[in-house]
Amino acid sequence: MAGARTDGRVERGNQTRRLVLGRTMAIASVEGLGALSIGRIAAELGLSKSGVFALFGSKEELQLATVRAAKAVFAERVVRPAEQSPPGLDRVRRLCEGYLAYSRERVFPGGCFFTTVTAEFSSREGAVRDAVAGAHSDWSACVRGVLEDARAVGELREDADLPQLTFELMALMEMANAESALSGDDSGYGRAATAITARLRAAAAEAPALAHRVGG
């Protein structure tokens, strides 16, 4: 019986943690990580401040846990669906489509969580800044990795400049997100998809390598 009670407390704690992190991710995507506090979250969710403190211990740990949770959401919505395609330009296409859909569908109400918090912490120091920078580095490495795989299977030209292509694809995706979040104009998603398709076709080893346009 003691084990059952302990398991019940653990599960309730996990449920509360998920509830809290769902709210903190939503807030941070709009207002930034600096807007988070244990007191605010407890009040908004009708929880005790001491209970939220027991789960996280400090504002910084609440921020770090929020970044980790957002990384998991991003991986689930953007990265893993692309991995269902074999290495090649179709996987690159699906990765870009996944990002544009994640932003356009407002998985987080402020658009891309990481665009918001990267701007917030780009000139700061500390553990939260390092976590945000690590997430950005991981995303860049993911885009670069799928491009490297596409070249390895012969779908990108051997002389393709992959660091440049990585930069361009990320810039196009993030610009579409920024325009939508700032002005409410979603036309940038179509423009980004068109530009990404053109850039990938220009770098392709042969014309049929990219079977479908991004977003098509």
d(CA 202, CA 70): 33
Q: Which residue has the tokens 């009670």?
A: 5
Q: What's the pLDDT tens digit per position in 101-121?
A: 999 999 999 999 999 999 999
8 pLDDT band, cuts 50/70/90, is: confident
Q: Which CATH superfamily is domain 2-209 in?
A: Tetracycline Repressor, domain 2 (1.10.357.10)
Torsion angle, alpha carbons of 206, 212, 213, 215, to 10: -150
Q: Measure the CA angle with vertex 153, ends 151 and 157; round to 5°.
A: 35
| Strand-pair partners of 156 | 204
pLDDT of 4 strictly over 90: no
Domain boundaries, given as residue ranges, for the chain: 2-209
Residues 34, 120 contacting (CB under 8 angstroms): yes
pLDDT single digits (tens) 145-180 = 999 999 999 999 999 999 999 999 999 999 999 999
Which residues, 6+ apart, have CB-to-CB distance to 48 below 8 Å? 42
The SS3 call for residue 7 is helix
- pTM for the model: 0.90
pLDDT at 189 over 70: yes
pLDDT, one tens digit per residue, over 117-143 is: 999 998 899 999 999 999 999 999 999
